[in-house]
Structure formats: C-alpha cells, structure tokens
Amino acid sequence: MLRFVSSELQASVLLILAALSALTWMLLALRTGWRDLAVLCSLLAPLAGLILAYAWHPLYHPAANYGWLAWGVVIVAHLLMLRRLSEQLPSRAASIAHVLGCWLLLGVLALELRYLLLSLAEHYNAWRWLGWALLPSAYLWGMAQARGLPWPVAAFEREYRLWAAAPLAALMLAWFWLANANSAGDSDPLPYLPLFNPLELGLLLSLGALSVWARDALPRLGLEPARALLIVQGVAGLSLFALLTVMVMRSAHHWGGVPWQTSALFESMLVQAGWSIVWTLIALALMLFGHLRVRRELWLVGAALIALVVAKLFFVELGNRGGLERIVSFIGVGVLLLVVGYFAPLPPRKAEASAADEQASTV
C-alpha cells in the first residue's frame, strides 16, 4: 500500500482496507462462533485512530482525497460489527470499543469542522478556536438529556454518558480557559460585540454544556449530590468571572485600540476602569441573589469582590494621573456601592431566618 499508492491517498486507502478486513473477520466470527476473532474486530476504532495520527498535519482535511468515503466506511463498519457481534464480544471489550469509536467519530467530525471554519480566516482567530469545541459541547448537551436515545446509547448508557463524556468534559474545560485567555476574539468579517461574538458565544455554549452534564454525571461517578452541585457552581462561577474579565480586555482591544499584549492591556486605564465596573456589577448580582435567596456565602463572595475593587481603586486607579477613565471608574463604582447597600444588605443566617419565619407564622 505504501509503495504503490500515492501519499495523498494512502490514509483513505488504508482506512478502507482496515474496514473491509474487519468486516471479513466479522463474517468469519459469526459463521464459526470464534470469540477471539470477534474481539479482534473491535480493534477497528483504535487502528483507525493510528491511521488518523499518521495522516494528521496542521491543515488536515478529513474529507479530502476520498476521506469522506473512507471515514464513512470505517464508522459504518464499526457500528455494524458492534451490533452483530454483541453476543460474542466480552462486556469489557464491547465497552472499550464503544468508547473509542465515539471518540474517533467526534474527533474526525471536529477536525472537519475546524478545517471548514479555518477556511473563513487568514490568521489564527476565533473561528479556528470554535472548530475544536462545537461538536464536543453538543455531545455533552445531548448526553445530559434524560430522554432515551437510540442504539447504541440506549444499550450502553454508562459508556456514552459517562466514560466517553468525562474526558471530553475535562478537555472542554481546558479549552475554555485556553481560548478565553489567548484569543483576541477576531471573527472577520463579523465585528466584535461583547458576549455576542462567535468566540464568547462558543465559550458560553461549552460552559453551559459542561455544567449541565456535570450536574447529573458527577453524582453518578460517586460524588455526593450536594458536593457535586457545589463543585459545578464553583467551577462555572469562576469560569464565567474569567470570561467577563477577559471580555473587558477584548473590548478595549477592539474598541479602544489597546494592543493585544499582556503588558499593554494591564497598563491601560481603559481596561482597569472596565474591570472595576464589571467586577462591581458581578458583586452586585451576587449580593442581590444572596440576599433574595438567603445565601450568606454568595453575599460574602460578592462582598469580597467589592473589597478587591475598592483596593484596586486606591492602589491602581488612584496611583495614575487624571483621566476620564479614572473618573468614570470612581463614579461608577460609587453608585453601584450605594445600590448594593440599599437593595442587598447582609442576609441573616439560616437559623435566624427560620426563627423569624416561625415568629411571623405564630403572629
């Protein structure tokens, strides 16, 4: 194959050869009841993964050079073998084959989507980042749904909803922080709009999918439901805070002309003023929610964020020379502090709140 087939077609031909060989083994295993040969058929997915690693390069296009046909044959052969050999395959081999096949399918589709989005841009921008995350995020959303899904998910719920999804969730969390920290949000030909640009919409989608999946999956993985919910809320809150913080930097870069460089962004008073106002708005939302739901921990987190903003005002804004940004920062934070003091006082402890409710009901 490597000698007589051109280099452009080698991966596609190897994939088709592997799929046809595995189908031949499947027919022989079904005819003879040969369990070891059935186990060998389940290795099609990892073998295709090795061929993918052999063919991959930074501009890899899975559908090119008859790749659409080769990958289609591999996926159909993989699913057909798992269906027909379900009685002969050991449970562990079947579980591993389903998980590896799921990762292979998602990986190939993500690479194809990445290439299509990559063709929209001439330089590394938001479109390329999105290509890695849209399909895994959609998969996490789908696996978090309670309603029944067709085979193979219906027959292998744990494999698809937990074992295949858990590494994807970890990768999506890592992708969220890397994309948020490194991408300036360029999405030509679309203009940059805070929270309504392709990058930040993709970040919100991935964070939402990760939170919805983890809220149901972590208790099934052995964590206590209360602790799992606390972890999900903490990770989601911290990630959303990071997204809004870097959103200010991207806005200053696109609208204020600040270079997308760490030193220039941190030295910009426009960025510093934006952080003060956005962080105070976040603190206001936390304190209002904590007051309405009688959750002191949320109120205290908001109060700590207010303390951080006040300290930044004195040590950063006050240390710089005058300017419109510094004036807006002080006035905006001051007004929001007045709103916090009036609408969101410290909620009582749960014991005090329950005692007050009992008194009110008695009266």
- The reported pTM is 0.87
* Distance from C-alpha of 310 to C-alpha of 260, rounded to nearest angstrom: 26
Residue 355 reports pLDDT greater than 50: no
Residue 321 reports pLDDT greater than 60: no
Tokens of 168: 């994807």
Torsion angles phi and psi, residue 190, rounded to 5: -80, 145
pLDDT of residue 343: 59
Percent of the chain scoring above 90 in pLDDT: 51
pLDDT of residue 360: 41
Q: Within 13 Å of residue 282, how many CA atoms lie on the same side as its CB?
A: 22
Residue 15 reports pLDDT greater than 80: yes
pLDDT of residue 285: 86
Contact 168, 136 (CB under 8 A): yes
- What would the 3-class secondary structure string for the chain be? CCCCCCCCCHHHHHHHHHHHHHHHHHHHHHHHCCHHHHHHHCCHHHHHHHHHHHHCCCCCCCCCCCHHHHHHHHHHHHHHHHHHCCCCCCHHHHHHHHHHHHHHHHHHHHHHHHHHHHCCCCCCCHHHHHHHHHHHHHHHHHHCCCCCCCCCCCCCHHHHHHHCHHHHHHHHHHHHHHHHHHCCCCECCECCCCCCCHHHHHHHHHHHHHHHHHHHHHHHCCCCHHHHHHHHHHHHHHHHHHHHHHHHHHHHHHHHCCCCCHHHHHHCHHHHHHHHHHHHHHHHHHHHHHHHCCCHHHHHHHHHHHHHHHHHHHHHHCCCCCCHHHHHHHHHHHHHHHHHHHHCCCCCCHHHHHHHHHHHHHC
Of the ranges 53-57, 76-80, 289-293, 338-342, the best mean pLDDT one: 76-80
For residues 108-122, average pLDDT: 84
pLDDT of residue 186: 87
pLDDT of residue 356: 44
Before 90, cis peptide (omega within 30)?
Answer: no
Tokens of 321: 């020379």
For residues 185-209, average pLDDT: 90
Tokens of 82: 């798992």
In this predicted structure, which of 44-53, 74-83, 114-123, 149-158 has the lowest mean pLDDT? 114-123
Could you tell me which residue, 36 or 316, shows the higher pLDDT? 36
For residues 285-310, average pLDDT: 82
pLDDT of residue 363: 44
pLDDT of residue 349: 64
pLDDT of residue 169: 95
Identify the band that residue 344 occupies on the pLDDT scale cut at 50, 70 and 90: low
Distances (CA, A) of 267 to 261, 262, 307: 10, 9, 21
Percent of the chain scoring above 70 in pLDDT: 85
* Average of per-residue pLDDT values in the chain: 86
pLDDT of residue 149: 82
- pLDDT tens for 270-285 read 898 889 889 988 988 8
pLDDT of residue 326: 60
Residue 342 reports pLDDT greater than 70: no
Residue 362 reports pLDDT greater than 60: no
Residue spans of the domains in the chain: they are 1-119, 134-249, 268-349
Rounded to 5 degrees, what angle do the CA atoms 115, 116, 118 make?
Answer: 60
- pLDDT tens for 201-231 read 999 999 999 999 999 899 988 889 889 989 9
Residue 260 reports pLDDT greater than 50: yes
In this predicted structure, which of 20-34, 125-139, 222-236, 312-326 has the lowest mean pLDDT? 312-326
Could you tell me which residue, 141 or 147, shows the higher pLDDT? 141
